[in-house]
């Protein structure tokens, strides 16, 4: 089985894993930094990770960068860069707003305020899978196009 790993990085990092050939969500959860570090260290080439998808984080001077004073998102992205290098797989950084497009494809209602981190990670994975032709939208499923 080939896996896609998807992340919404931060103090509380959302994680989603998908079966790559089918685009099926396997698991999603939220992790703290220490547990994420240990989990990433446990992944080997035998896990057959095809790609790692992560919501990108860009420091914008004067933008406030709410809640990121300790750089948790950047630290997680650095870990993911090292993990993708170690595993020999692609690292795909996505703009935060692509999850909103993926939410429409998945038929998810976007909550007001903060989106749960595990849902955000799932949606980033869905966006990538759709780009790879491995995800069927809710409209396509209801119309019988899958």
Task: Please state, in angstroms and rounded to a whole number, the distance separating the CA atoms of residues 37 and 83.
Answer: 10
Q: What is the pLDDT of residues 45-79, one digit of tens each?
A: 999 999 999 999 987 666 555 555 678 999 999 99
Domain of 124 in residue numbering reads as 3-143
Count of CB atoms within 10 A of residue 16's CB? 25
Task: Map the chain to HEC letters.
Answer: CCEEEEEECCCCEEEEEEECCCCEEEEEEEECHHHHHHHHHHCCHHHCEEEEEEECCCCCCCCCCCCCCCCHHHHHHHHHHHHHHHHCCEEEEECCCHHHHHHHHHCCCCCCCCCCHHHHHHHHHHHHHHHCCCCCCHHHHHHCCC
- Give dist(CA 27, CA 1) in Å, integer: 14
- Return d(Cα 92, Cα 70) in angstroms, integer: 23
Q: Give the phi and the psi of residue 48 in degrees, each rounded to 5.
A: 55, 55
Low-confidence ranges of the chain (pLDDT < 50): none
Q: How far apart are CA 64 and CA 53, in angstroms?
A: 25
Q: Are 52 and 5 in contact (CB under 8 A)?
A: yes
- pTM, two decimals, is 0.91
* CATH number of the structural domain spanning residue 82: 3.30.420.10
Question: Total domain count for the chain?
Answer: 1
User: What pLDDT was estimated at residue 71?
Assistant: 86
pLDDT confidence of residue 93: 98
């Amino acid at each position: 089985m080939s896996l896609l790993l998807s992340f919404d990085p931060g103090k509380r990092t959302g994680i989603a894993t998908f079966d790559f050939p089918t685009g099926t969500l396997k698991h999603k959860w939220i992790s703290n930094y220490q547990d994420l570090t240990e989990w990433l260290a446990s992944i080997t080439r035998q896990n057959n990770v095809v790609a790692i998808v992560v919501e990108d984080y860009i420091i914008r001077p004067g933008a406030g960068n709410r809640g990121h004073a300790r750089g948790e998102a950047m630290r997680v992205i650095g870990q993911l860069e090292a993990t993708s290098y170690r595993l020999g797989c692609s690292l795909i950084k996505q703009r935060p707003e692509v999850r909103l497009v993926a939410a429409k494809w998945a038929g998810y209602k976007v909550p007001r305020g903060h989106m749960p981190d595990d849902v955000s990670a799932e949606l980033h994975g869905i966006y990538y899978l759709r780009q790879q032709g491995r995800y069927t939208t809710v409209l396509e499923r209801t119309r019988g196009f899958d």
